[in-house]
Structure 1
Amino acid sequence: MYIVRFLRCLVLLLVGLATVTHARAADEDLERVAITRALTDYIDGSAHARPEQLRRAFHPDARLLLSRPGTAYWPVSVDEYVGWFSGAKAGQPTGRIGNVLSIDVEADTATVKAEILVPSQGARFIDLFLLRKLDAQWKIVAKTATREPSRRSADRVLFVLSSAKFHGASRLPAGVSFGEVVEAWDAFRAAGLTVDFVSPEGNAAPINVTEAGEFRSRFYDADLMYALEHTHAPSQIDPARYRAVYFVGGSNAIYGVPENSRLQDIARHVYERNGGVVSAVCHGTAGLVNLKLSDGSYLIGGKRVSGYPEEFERQDAAYFKEFPFLIRKTVESRGGTFLTSARDQGYVVVDGRLVTGQNYLSAKQVAQAVVAILRKPADQQPKQAAEKG
């Protein structure tokens, strides 16, 4: 009887802890939204020389500790800082491109790390902010920054991840391929692009840690892991900002993404209206099978496509029985020509502005192929299919 009572109490305790944890996470999400709003005033206000919007981000007595050649410690007032974006410059684009990299909240205090790219100067500023919640509003109370050389441009690529944690309706765990994220992240950023993440549900993406292998050390990459823990929801994405879309694979990529109409809208906008590139790797090709163009035709129709085919799967395994469709079979039913190479080697197919890779070994090659297309003038972009083994 004692053991039964103990177990009941333990269950109630765990349920209570889970409820408290969930409630705290929800509260923190609300605070992050409010903090992001303040940072948006700073980023947009300085990017478009809007002095009043920029001022709104700061507490009037905020301390800005900056530096300049010959002066390592340079205190600047809010009035002086806002003045740099006023007068004849007001309302004009400044060439600054801002991104929030991380937010850490503790009660009424928050720290934020952001980057400000200035491609015209070949510079990247890392801004560190201290914010306080005062009179129910988050305000920047202190800011410092450092500058480093940078080849980063205004171009952005959107990584599409699945939110699914399990295979179908089962309790078999599934997740995003970490290697396919890391390899492409490194390649795109090395080429000067900014990477953003989107998933059907937003927030933390389920990473398949059991297959991280050689990339395990990247779990300590703070900027990358924060981005993966705080992916955007499709409703938060402005597709006009992106030059390319990259559908990431993993054991969960076939769930939630292929049928998400908002993600399809984003990819179609990037491809048709932005003249951008749509790409996918491994199981990420599942995200392309339902993607239609404005004329109602399938994007993959009449194109050469690669990905992870069903003949490479363990078809007698329980997870395979959860698949809602088969990638090769579905691509071919949509009018695509599905191509593969040896199972254990990287393989990439480029067909116009569609780039697909066979497996995780292809992730870096896919990213590099996308970059190669983006660097060509529109009239020189590939019209014929090409293969890379």
Structure 2
Amino acid sequence: MHTPAISSRAKAFCERFGVELPILLAPMAGACPVPLSAALANAGSMGAMGAVLSTAEQIGQWMEAFRAQSHGPAQINLWVPDPPPLRDAAAEAATREFLGQWGPQVPATAGDAGPADFDAQLDALIHARPAVASTIMGVFSAAQVQRLKAAGIAWFACATTLDEALQAQAAGADAVVAQGMEAGGHRGAFDAAKAELQMSGLFALLPRLADKLQVPVIAAGGIADGRGVAAALLLGASAVQVGTAFLAADESDIPQVWRHALADAEPEGTRATRVFSGRLGRALDTPYVRAAEAADAPQPRPYPVQRGLTAGMRRDANAADHLDAMQAWAGQSAWLARRAPAAEIMRSMWAQAQALS
């Protein structure tokens, strides 16, 4: 970027966090295979692992595999645990019956699925020594931040409001990811019950955070080409984080039907919904999503109960490459995703952004 203030801000971010370009891969759980992360890190960006469901062993294995393919930096993203969910046996039974129309019959024990062992995940992350630990749904404790700093690991915290961003900064975050409502996948709201109320668009949220924070702001949500990159940097971001635009990359390993559906997804063709996990997330507006959001459908159970209840349906949909019941996360700029090498996609974004400055 040629504007001095913008260029200086992006350059400082790149130098501090060991990247050449201020375009980062979003840590998408289940959709950030090592080849995708390595390709981007080798091209001057940063690899990313969404570790929400990963065991400690899997975190170590991912980092080991990444280092075998790249000498670049990587971030590992953890999901700060919610309070234990309230259970309702009758409501879960109704949801199991409904889900049986879209996949295999749901066992009575499916809702017992619990969250990952967060302490074990953090131990594994610190042992793996990525460049960055990132969080969604909350902040690290003071003791956890101290452990990260002692290990030389930076912390990026996802926020959906100014209040969340200020909490993250006060807790010691090295940068804040401003997640606009356009973003695909789960909303990063600290309080699950407030997620639908915290749906600010990125270009309203971003300058608000940039004006109020002392730490760098990373823009996320609906950025899928150089126009979005340039606009985000102009509005105060030091870098951007991109997810959906890389789902169609050559190195992506999502099901083919999901990949192909991105190109035809209008901005209004995605929906923020709780029907897959119990936590609000933006996905393609498929027949299952529409049916599960209908007034006569059972209300989704809290996270992670709903995630457990839908596990069989989601697994079978992936195996059959069947979009109707697939958990196909996508941001509102999904139509911009294209099939090409990931490094080429990223370099094209940056070249376009520079040409617009």
Pair in the same fold by TM > 0.5 = no
Give the TM-score band, short-chain normalised: under 0.3
Q: Which has the higher strand share?
A: 1
TM-score scaled by length of structure 2: 0.26
TM-score scaled by length of structure 1: 0.25
Q: Which has the higher helix share?
A: 2
